Structures are given as structure tokens and as C-alpha cells.
Amino acid sequence: MVRMEFICPRCGEKSYLEQRKKGSNVYYYAVRVSCGGGSYLGPKEYIAAERFNRLSLSGLADRFKRYILKLLDSLEAADLNGSLKK
């Protein structure tokens, strides 16, 4: 299996994504390539929270999408003000 490496948004280290199942829930962790330690990223879905409210809390995929869009906005702003050099 090929693992896609990325920079963990919590610790800043080169990591790969791992899913861990506990009961009927799935949780995501960023496992560091260098030492095998990891950072908790969150649940795939907020099942328990949804039972008690109508907030529609987002899972990891939605949070990751917002993270990437925010990163792209930051890069675009940096490019517009000339702080990105070619």
C-alpha cells in the first residue's frame, strides 16, 4: 500500500494518515515518518455530538478542505503582495 506523506497541521512533521477504529467510530491520526509517533487529528464523523444537537459538526474531511482553502487563500494573498519570490 502506498502512503501519501504530508506535513501534519498539528506538529509540522512529515507524516502519513492512519485510520484507527474504536467501536463503531473511526479516528484519524498523523503518524510521523521519523519516529512512528503521532498526532490526533479527529474523528471521521461526530456521531455522538449529532445525537444531542443540530450543529452539524464536521468530520476530518470537511476540516481538511477548509484547511486547504485557507492555505490557498494565504498563498494567493502572499503572491499579490509580492512576498512570494519565483
- pTM value is 0.53
How far apart are the C-alpha atoms of 54 and 31, rounded to whole Å? Answer: 32
pLDDT of 13 reads 86
pLDDT of 72 reads 81
**Domain coordinates in residue numbering, the chain:** 5-80
Cβ-proximal residues to 25 (8 Å cutoff; 6+ apart), any chain: 43, 44, 45, 47
How far apart are the C-alpha atoms of 75 and 86, rounded to whole Å? Answer: 13
* Ordered per-residue pLDDT tens for the chain, 86 residues: 667 888 888 888 899 988 999 988 888 899 998 888 888 888 877 665 555 555 555 666 677 777 778 888 877 777 766 765 65
